[in-house]
Structure 1
Amino acid sequence: MKAIKETNFNFPGQTKFYKGKVRDVYTIKDKYLVMVVSDRISAFDVVLPEPIPYKGQVLNQIAAKFLNETKDIVPNWVIAVPDENVTIGRICEPFKVEMVIRGYLAGHLAREYAAGKRELCGVKLPEGLKENDKLPEPIITPTTKAAVGHDEDISREEILKKGIVSETDYTKLEEYTRKLYQRGTEIASEQGLILVDTKYEFGKADGVIYLIDEIHTPDSSRYFYKEGYDELQKKGEPQKQLSKEFVRRWLIENGFQGKDGQQVPEMNEERVESISERYIELYEKITGEKFLKANTSDVYKRVESNINAALKMLQ
């Protein structure tokens, strides 16, 4: 078994276990979070039947790299990365908003604009923009976690009015979000990329705000290629993207968008292999580094052993 579909470990001091769409999260002594980034892949809020070898490693290692390269801006939750698919960090109380920042009229923002809206999350947008145009300046369009269904757009004013985040903390979250996006933009530019939009999650522990979860991965961010951007915009043609959009496109072309009654198209070995190769390509383009495949001869034993060794060190 080369890919991690799901884990079912039992660690000393384990108090909780949570299985997300992609991550398996173990709570140790109510003090540490052990996050195993599996090779599951989701699209349209549905986990696809086949895991993608090395996908978890790609996401975990991109996040680890960029969390390390931004810790001078804001402290983050990471304590150790003991395995290619694992991050161990401090437990934080998450803020109930995700900080989405957009530098271009793309994705959800472009769809809202095309529908005639000129304001999103309380932020006014100028007339005359076309899809994928650079915005006059980056805008923050937060979302709040819905009890059921999808995340929902929310304005700064609503967040403060409803007391979801205090004004002091929210001002800090905005400041961190802008600085992180600026750093992400600079790093992307060095790789010949444009960081189009992204999202950040924050939490609090002992009165300190920490950056949590992952950052600047192809699952949480959208990238364009810098080369050819201007030319494609002039022609009104779609931009070349670097994200998991290629998986969504394949599903749509095969009649699946997560709606009732729709079947996930067959994911044969060739399809799984091609998605795996694309994720490795994403890693190399985004980081500018060669991807080194982890040992997958007994992937579960490797992960469990590395976590146990790390937890011993933390005792």
Structure 2
Amino acid sequence: MSLADQVLAVNNDLPIRTDVAVHSGKVRSVYWLTQADSRRLIQEKNYDVAQDTPLAIMVISDRISAFDCIWHGEGGMKGVPGKGAALNAISNHWFKLFKEQGLADSHILDIPHPFVWIVQKAKPVMIEAICRQYITGSMWRSYAKGEREFCGIELSDGLEKDSKLPQLLQTPSTKGILKDIPGVPAVDDVNITRKNIEDNYAAFNFKSTEDIALYEKLLTEGFEVISAALGKLDQIFVDTKFEFGYVKDRNGNDKLIYMDEVGTPDSSRIWDGEQYRAGNIVENSKEGFRQLLLSHFPDPDILLNKDRMTEREALARENELPASVLMDLSATYLAIAEKVIGKKIVLSQNPKQEIIDILRDEYQLID
């Protein structure tokens, strides 16, 4: 079997029983189960959710997204070997740690396979919850141009690139296009302030103003739990993005939970501690791939300028990356995942067939 065959690039064609179209994002596909299957699994598996909660099968892929485009490599490689398994393993590890330390639950109810989560339907908070411990990336680019205010927070002069910030910063942005919020442009991923959120909490899907403080607490605590654990591995947790949402427990009570993925190389920057102390930045995250793309193409503005999206999509579609680039990225993902979980990740020879077998035989979700 070739390397390309081991990559799970297409994940929206599994024969899972569902009444609605499969939702396929950049990396994951979501299969909403029938009402009958949701109720059956809640009873059989004793999930802590209300009986009428819709459930979904979420299948990760090995696709690689950067600058809002999907990239591919030579030899028919449509993704990065081991990436999906690495991302899920890392998220699973942090979610378990959060629960053990009394932070909050996640949307995940069950993990049938390294590529698969069974999740409960959640009402998402429409905020990309970003936490920063160091000044780098887009924040540094803006700071270097003279900007000193970020999401309503004033930064002092004299900060240096890639240096540790005076305190942990929360710099939220919008998740999706939100209309009719005073002072917030109706575009995706635009920076917002705490006052924007307080004044329009319902528009961001918060149930109450008190929950804004709870989301901030869970964001800070989640960041600190991961940062401390990575510190023991001599890895620096630079910045990250969390997502939150509401679900109901089996008694019908609303609770705020962590959603999507947490503390992964896709949603975070992670630096090697030893190299950082020596004055070098070695990325153990997707940021290294982004930097490679910026240097690989002659006009990096195509990748940075949102007004050139059509050109950017053509660039990703028409250019096969060297296989060595995707294999180096595979090594990065697997190495950091194995550090975090403390054991080797064994890659499947045929992940799609394994998923089908488990969901058919153990969950009766495939006819």
> TM-score normalized by structure 1?
0.90
Q: What's the counterpart of residue 6 of structure 2?
A: 2
Decide which of 256, 265, 278 is 2:332's aligned counterpart: 278
Hey, what does 1:42 align to over in structure 2?
Answer: 65
Separation in structure 1 between the aligned mates of residue 197 and residue 243 of structure 2, nearest angstrom: 15
CA–CA distance in structure 1, aligned partners of residues 142 and 327 of structure 2: 35
Question: How far did 1:179 drift?
Answer: 0.7
Instruction: Name the structure where strand makes up a greater proportion of residues.
Output: 1
Distance of 2:158 and 2:328 partners within structure 1: 39
**3-state SS of paired residue (1:47):** strand
Aligned partner (choices 149, 162, 177) of residue 119 of structure 1: 149
1:228 positional shift: 4.1
Alignment match, 1:140: 170
Does the aligned pair in 1 maintain the 2:285–2:332 contact within 8 Å?
A: no
Structure 2 residue corresponding to 1:226, chosen from 273, 280, 286:
273
Among 62, 76, 94, the alignment partner of 2:90 is 62
> Which structure carries more helix by proportion?
2
2:106–2:259 contact (8 Å) kept in structure 1: yes
Aligned to 1:99: 129
| 8 A Cα contact 2:89 2:341, kept in partner | no
- Indicate which of 24, 27, 52 corresponds to 2:29: 24
Select the residue among 302, 305, 314 that pairs with 2:354. Answer: 302
Residue 196 of structure 1, aligned match among 226, 238, 258: 238
Equivalent residue pairs, number: 306
After superposition, the C-alpha distances for 1:5-53 in whole angstroms (9 at most, x for unaligned) are: 1121232344442100111111113611211110110111101132112
CA offsets 1:115-134 (integer angstroms, 9 cap, x no match) = 21111111111221111111
Please give the alpha-carbon distance, in whole angstroms, between the structure 2 residues aligned to 1:102 and 1:221: 10
Q: In 1, distance between residues paired with 2:260 and 2:153?
A: 26
The letter for the 2-side match of 1:27 is W
Task: Write the distance in 1 (CA, Å) between the matches of 2:324 and 2:341.
Answer: 26
Match of 2:160 in 1: 130
Unaligned runs of 5+ in 1: 233-237
Q: Is the 8 A contact 1:224 1:240 kept in 2?
A: yes
Structure 1, residues 151-178: CA drift from partner, whole Å, max 9, x if none? 1111110112123233111111001111
Matches within 5 A, 1:193-272: 193-206=235-248, 207-232=254-279, 238-255=280-297, 257-258=302-303, 259=308, 260-261=310-311, 263-264=315-316, 265-272=319-326
Residue deviations 1:209-268 (CA, integer Å, cap 9, x gap): 111110000000111222243442xxxxx5222211222222222216544445343234
CA distance in 1, matches of 2:60, 2:110: 14
Letter in 1 for 2:109: I
- The answer to whether the Cα contact below 8 Å between 1:6 and 1:24 also exists between their aligned partners in 2 is no
Distance 1:299 1:6 in 2: 11
User: How many Å apart are 1:290 and its aligned residue?
Assistant: 3.2
Contact 2:19 2:32 in 1 (8 A): yes
* Separation in structure 2 between the aligned mates of residue 60 and residue 161 of structure 1, nearest angstrom: 36
Cα separation, partners in 2 of 1:308 and 1:121, compared to 1, 3 Å: farther
Q: Determine the structure 2 residue equivalent to 1:160.
A: 198
CA contact (8 A) 1:93 1:205 kept: yes
Runs of 4+ in 1 over 3 A off after TM superposition: 13-16, 256-262, 268-272, 308-313
Q: CA deviation at 1:149?
A: 6.2
Structure 2 counterpart SS, 1:153: coil
**Following the alignment from structure 1 to structure 2, what is the Cα–Cα distance between the partners of residues 57 and 308?**
20
% of aligned pairs identical?
A: 28
Give the whole-Å Cα distance in 1 for the aligned partners of 2:287 and 2:343. Answer: 22
Give the distance between the partners of 2:225 and 2:57, measured in 1 at CA.
27
Q: Distance in 2 between matches of 1:224 and 1:65?
A: 19
Question: Within 2, Cα distance between the matches of 1:268 and 1:230?
Answer: 31
Name the Cα RMSD after superposition. Answer: 2.1
